[in-house]
C-alpha cells in the first residue's frame, strides 16, 4: 500500500511564511524561471537547477542537500515516497512538518476528497463521517484543481457526501469544467441532494463534458436500504435524485456494495433496477472494503464471496437480460463463476491494491483485481484457488 501522507524527516525553511501549502512537483531542469518560483523540484542527482520554490529529496538522496542552492527551502522525505514524480501535487503542512500527496500524475486512480461530512452513517462506510467544520478542504480543492495537468484522463470526487455544501460543490464542478474540460469525472454521492430539482438544474447547467455520478442503492426494500445507510427516508430521496438527474440527461451509475445484508435481496434489487431504472448508464456490483465502520460491524457484514458466487451470477444475469451496462468490482477472479468474467473489472485503486500470499503462484494474477490492502490485513476468503 502506498504511503500518501506522513512526517517529513528533515525540513529547511528559509521563509516559513512563503505560501507553499500546495505545491506542484517538477523533475524538469528546463522550466522557465517564472514557473520554477511556484513549484518544487524533485532532486535525484547532482544537477540541481536554481530558482525553485522548494526542493524535495528522498532520504536515500539526502547527501545531495549540500549541493542545493544556499538559500533553498527543502524537505527530506522517507523513501516511502519514491513514487512521487513529475506533475504530482503535494500539500506541505503550515509548520512544514508533514506532507500529503494529493494528486499523482502517473495514476489513473486519483480521487479527491471534498468533505468528511455526510448525512448517511453507512454500516460499511470506509471513510467514517465527521461533523467538524472542514470547509478548509473545499478551499484546498479549489486551489488544487488548477494545478492538475490538463491531460489528466480521469478524476474522482468523493467524501463524505460531496454535495454537503451545495454551493461550494457547484463551484468546484464549474472550476473542474474550466480547468479540466477533457477529463472524465466520476462523483461519488448518495444522491439525496439531487432530489431538489433546483440544485439538480444548477448541476446540469454546468454541462461537464464527461461526468458520471455514482449513487449507491443497497436494497429494493426501502427499510433495508435505510437501515444499511442509517438514515430514514434515504431510499425515497435517492431514487428521486436519480430520476431528476436522468430527466436532465446526466450520467448516473448505481453502485451496490455486496455484504451479508445486501446480498439477501441482490437478485430482487437487480430486478428492481432493471424494471424501474433501466435508463441508468452503469450498474457496479462491488465487493466489501475492510475499512472504517466495516471492521466494527464485521459480524453483521462479512460474507465469504464463495458463498454468494451463484447469487452474483444470477443477479448479473438479470441485469444482462435487460441489456444493462454492468461491472463487477473488487472481487477475486477465483471466487466468481466464469459467467462473471465478461463483467469483471480490475477496479481497486493502485495505491491500496494488494495480493494475498496464496496468489504468488497464480497464473492469472495479472487478470485478477486482487484485494484491498485492508482485506489482506484483516481477513479474506479461505477458498482462494490459484489458477
59, 116, 281, 358: residue in contact with ligand SF4 (rule CB under 6 A):
358
**Shorter beta-carbon distance to ligand SF4: residue 281 or 358:** 358
355 binds ligand SF4 (CB under 6 A): yes
Question: Using CB under 6 A, which of 364, 377, 379, 383 touches ligand SF4?
Answer: 364
Separation CA 246–CA 238 (nearest Å): 12
The residue to which cell 470547509 is assigned: 135
- Comparison of 94 and 385: residue with beta carbon closer to ligand SF4: 385
Q: Which of 53, 45, 126, 130 is nearest to 90 (CA)?
A: 53
CB 8 within 8 A of CB 96: yes
Contact predicate 130/292, CB 8 Å: no
Contact call for residue 359 and ligand SF4 (CB under 6 A): yes
Instruction: Tell me which residue of 170, 175, 98 sits closest to 142, measured CA to CA.
Output: 175
User: Smallest gap, in angstroms, from Cβ of residue 365 to ligand SF4?
Assistant: 4
Q: Toward ligand SF4, which CB reaches closer, 271 or 358?
A: 358
Supply the minimum distance, in Å, between the C-beta of residue 352 and ligand SF4.
Answer: 15
| Cβ at position 364, least distance to ligand SF4 in Å | 5
> What is the side-by-side order of every strand in the sheet holding 5-7?
5-7, 98-103, 89-92, 22-26, 39-43, 54-58, 74-77, 10-12
CB-wise, 191 or 287, nearer to ligand SF4?
A: 287
Q: Which is nearer to ligand SF4, 76 or 333 (CB)?
A: 333
Cα dihedral value 22, 179, 160, 373, nearest 10: -70
Residue for cell digits 444475469?
Answer: 317
CA-to-CA dists, residue 193 to 171, 242, 357, angstroms: 15, 10, 43
Neighbour tally for 297: CB within 10 Å: 17
Could you tell me if 238 and 218 are in contact, meaning their C-beta atoms sit under 8 angstroms apart?
no
User: What string marks each residue from 366 to 385 as x (binds ligand SF4 by CB under 6 A) or -?
Assistant: --x-x-------------x-
Q: Which of residues 282-341 bind ligand SF4 (CB under 6 A)?
A: 332-334
Residue span binding ligand SF4 (CB under 6 A) among the ranges 43-51, 56-64, 266-274, 354-362: 354-362
Find the helix or strand (DSSP H, E) in which 256 lies.
strand 251-257
- The piece of 91-99, 105-113, 202-210, 356-364 that touches ligand SF4 (CB under 6 A) is 356-364
* Nearer to ligand SF4 among residue 9 and residue 303 (C-beta): 303
Closest distance of CB 366 from ligand SF4, Å:
9
Residues paired with 77 in a beta bridge: 58
Cα–Cα distance measured from residue 149 to residue 145, given in angstroms and rounded to the nearest whole number = 9
Residue number with CB closer to ligand SF4 (218 or 371): 371
Residues within the interface to ligand SF4 (CB under 6 A): 332-334, 355-356, 358-359, 362, 364-365, 368, 370, 384, 386-387
Amino acid at each position: 500500500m502506498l504511503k500518501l501522507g506522513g512526517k517529513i524527516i528533515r525540513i529547511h525553511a528559509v521563509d516559513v511564511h512563503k505560501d507553499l501549502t500546495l505545491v506542484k512537483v517538477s523533475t524538469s531542469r528546463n522550466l522557465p524561471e517564472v514557473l520554477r518560483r511556484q513549484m518544487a523540484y524533485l532532486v535525484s542527482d547532482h544537477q540541481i537547477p536554481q530558482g525553485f520554490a522548494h526542493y524535495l529529496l528522498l532520504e536515500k538522496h539526502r547527501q545531495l542537500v549540500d549541493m542545493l542552492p544556499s538559500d533553498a527551502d527543502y524537505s527530506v522525505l522517507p523513501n516511502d515516497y519514491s513514487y512521487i514524480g513529475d506533475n504530482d501535487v503535494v500539500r506541505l503542512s503550515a509548520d512544514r512538518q508533514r506532507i500529503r500527496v494529493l494528486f499523482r500524475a502517473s495514476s489513473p486512480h486519483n480521487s479527491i476528497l471534498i468533505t468528511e461530512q455526510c448525512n448517511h452513517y453507512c454500516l460499511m462506510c470506509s471513510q467514517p463521517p465527521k461533523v467538524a467544520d472542514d470547509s478548509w478542504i473545499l478551499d484546498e480543492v479549489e486551489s488544487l484543481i488548477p494545478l492538475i495537468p490538463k491531460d489528466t484522463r480521469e478524476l474522482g470526487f468523493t467524501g463524505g457526501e460531496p454535495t454537503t455544501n451545495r454551493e461550494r460543490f457547484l463551484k468546484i464542478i464549474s472550476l473542474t469544467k474550466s480547468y479540466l474540460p477533457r477529463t472524465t469525472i466520476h462523483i461519488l454521492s448518495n444522491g439525496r441532494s439531487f432530489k431538489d430539482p433546483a440544485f439538480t438544474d444548477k448541476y446540469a447547467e454546468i454541462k461537464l463534458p464527461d461526468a458520471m455520478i455514482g449513487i449507491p442503492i443497497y436494497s429494493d426494500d426501502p427499510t433495508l436500504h435505510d437501515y444499511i445507510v442509517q438514515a430514514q427516508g434515504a431510499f425515497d430521496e435517492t431514487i428521486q435524485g436519480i430520476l431528476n438527474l436522468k430527466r436532465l440527461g446526466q450520467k448516473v451509475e448505481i453502485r451496490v456494495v455486496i455484504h451479508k445484508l445486501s446480498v439477501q435481496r441482490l437478485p430482487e434489487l437487480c430486478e428492481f433496477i432493471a424494471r424501474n431504472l433501466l435508463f441508468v448508464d452503469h450498474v457496479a456490483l462491488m465487493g466489501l472494503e475492510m475499512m472504517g465502520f466495516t471492521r466494527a460491524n464485521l459480524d453483521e457484514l462479512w460474507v465469504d464471496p464463495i458463498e454468494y458466487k451463484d447469487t452474483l451470477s444470477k443477479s448479473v444475469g438479470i441485469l444482462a437480460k435487460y441489456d444493462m451496462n454492468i461491472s463487477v468490482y473488487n472481487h477475486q477472479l477465483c471466487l466468481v463463476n466464469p459467467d462473471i468474467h465478461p463483467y469483471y473489472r480490475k477496479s481497486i485503486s493502485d495505491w491500496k491494491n494488494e495480493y494475498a500470499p496464496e496468489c504468488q503462484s497464480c497464473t492469472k494474477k495479472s487478470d485478477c483485481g486482487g484485494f484491498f490492502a485492508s482485506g489482506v490485513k484483516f481477513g479474506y476468503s479461505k477458498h482462494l484457488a490459484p489458477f
